[in-house]
Amino acid sequence: MKERAIRYCLLFLAMMVAFCPDSRADSDEESKLLDAIEVLHEINRIPENAIAPHLLKNAHGIAIVPGVIKLGFVVAGRHGQGVICVRNASGGWSNPSFVTLTGGSVGWQAGAQSTDVILVFKSRKSVDAIARGKFTLGADASVAAGPVGRHAEAGTDIQLKSEIYSYSRNRGLFAGVALEGAALQIDDAANAALYQQQYITPNQIFDGASGSPPQTVEDFKKVLSRYAP
């Protein structure tokens, strides 16, 4: 009796997947954009513990990876999916391209953790390198834990010499985080699903040649422009 009930449940789930695969795929990507919008709203919620405003204002690229999962026992790893945008010629923000963030470490640690990761790029050089292939933080470009708060200009890292500044958000607070060795890679499958173009490239997305994106894309860009004008 129990086995028959399990078979019926599996059959029902299979039918649901068969009848609505497209809507499910769309909702996955748009849901991730909505998660990124929530992270952006959190940036200025506590100004004293937020990403330094001058850094956001002068950023040439921003990556937001909500809900990065860190799992491990002795050998730990992290993985997450998010989006990356670049400044266009007029100073506004491009359409977002999906990326994955993957990294690992070895040490005596155990447990699981989910956190939001934000990367702020000082120039488009690193973003262009990401668009060309796999990109490793710390190896392909210098990365440092970013300054926080409105008065971060008075800190020791006033010259901001690194190419990329990294942050994490956990329990509502932003803090600089070390991400050396983590890899950023374009998520072509997610881009194809969101923009409904099978072979769309990240540069086509950044240049605006991505057809008619869903309203969620425009909503994301508006919120990003509010916090990184």
Among the ranges given (26-30, 111-115, 146-150, 202-206), the one the predictor scored with the smallest mean pLDDT: 111-115
Top-ranked range on mean pLDDT: pick from 71-80, 112-121, 183-192: 183-192
Higher local confidence (pLDDT), 146 or 84: 84
pLDDT band at 105 (very low <50, low <70, confident <90, very high): low
Q: Residue 93's pLDDT is what?
A: 94
pLDDT band at 44 (very low <50, low <70, confident <90, very high): confident
Give the Cα separation of 147 and 155 in Å (integer). Answer: 8
Residue type, 229: P
Q: Residue 183's pLDDT is what?
A: 87
Q: Residue 52's pLDDT is what?
A: 79
Question: Please, what is the average pLDDT of the chain?
Answer: 76
Answer for the pair 38, 65: CB distance below 8 angstroms, yes or no.
no
Under DSSP, is residue 223 helix (H, G, I), strand (E, B) or coil?
helix
pLDDT tens-digit readout, 23-42: 333 468 899 999 999 988 88
Give the pLDDT mean for 49-55: 78
pLDDT band at 104 (very low <50, low <70, confident <90, very high): low
pLDDT tens-digit readout, 160-178: 678 888 888 776 666 667 7
Top-ranked range on mean pLDDT: pick from 17-26, 100-109, 216-225: 216-225
Which residues, including other chains, have CB under 8 Å from residue 32's CB and lie 6 or more apart? 66, 81, 82, 83, 98, 190
Answer for the pair 166, 179: CB distance below 8 angstroms, yes or no.
yes
Distances (CA, A) of 180 to 56, 81, 155, 177: 21, 18, 22, 9
Answer for the pair 106, 76: CB distance below 8 angstroms, yes or no.
yes
Higher local confidence (pLDDT), 109 or 220: 220
Q: Residue 211's pLDDT is what?
A: 74
